[in-house]
Copies of this chain bind each other. A is one copy, B any other.
Amino acid sequence: MGLRERKKAETRAALSWAAVRLTVERGLDNVKVEDIADAVGVSPRTFNNYFSSKAEAIVFRHLDRCMGVAEALRERSAEPLWDAITHAVLTRFGPDAQSAAHPVADAAQWTAGVRVMVAEPALRGEMLRAGAIAEAEIAAAVAERTGGDLDHDLYPHLVASAVMAAVNTAIAHHLRTDPPVPVDRLLTDALAHIAAGLSTP
């Protein structure tokens, strides 16, 4: 990767992070595109060269992690399918992967802000869309394993969307509970239920 692409990736990540931070701190509609651009030191016009909307910028990190699941899945072609899926999800959504990058001062206040943020209607839609985009990749990765055909078989798509459903549900439950239930346990449980069948509670 040349200098060009690296700088671009850095700017994109910086914009996304600034968008998230400001939104968590002030709330979505108290953050203007201009604010995000200023925080990174770029022109407002440039912001829209990287992201086609505020929501897309905020959700970028989530999209990245979802795509990472597909990537991790391809790297684990030796294990049985659902072991690989569980492991892939945990590496990207596990507790350590979350706060690795940017530490925050007041953890409680941060979580409260995150709760407000993910409740925002516009962002919910965008988050789900990010999951749907990654779903296509995951379905492709599953099809590679099982030898299925993406155009004719339902199974790969069904697995992908069920996995994302489990992830979304686990995260939602994690954010809903207070004190929070460990997210890795929720993810493992949810995926196990999906794999084994939901007919038996």
Q: Which positions in A face B, CB cutoff 8 Å?
A: 81-82, 121, 124-126, 128-129, 131-132, 146, 148, 151-152, 154-155, 157-159, 161-162, 164-166, 168-170, 172-173, 176-177, 186, 189-190, 193-199, 201
B158 and A198 contacting across the interface, CB-CB below 8 Å: yes
Q: B146, B154, B169, B190: which contacts A173 (Cβ < 8 A)?
A: B154
Once A154-B169, A162-B165, A165-B164 are accepted as A-B contacts, the answer to whether A199 and B190 lie under 8 Å apart by CB is: no
Q: A173 to B157: give the CA distance in the assembly, Å.
A: 9
Classify the interface of chain A: helix, strand, loop or mixed: helix
A190 and B158 contacting across the interface, CB-CB below 8 Å: yes
Once A121-B129, A162-B198, A197-B197 are accepted as A-B contacts, the answer to whether A151 and B169 lie under 8 Å apart by CB is: no
Q: B154, B170, B177: which contacts A190 (Cβ < 8 A)?
A: B154
B195 and A195 contacting across the interface, CB-CB below 8 Å: no
Once A125-B125, A125-B126, A162-B162 are accepted as A-B contacts, the answer to whether A199 and B154 lie under 8 Å apart by CB is: no
A195 and B199 contacting across the interface, CB-CB below 8 Å: yes
**A160's closest neighbor in chain B, by CB?**
B169
Q: A121 to B126: give the CA distance in the assembly, Å.
A: 9
- With a cutoff of 8 Å between Cβ atoms, the chain B residues found around residue A128 in the complex are 125, 128-129, 131-132
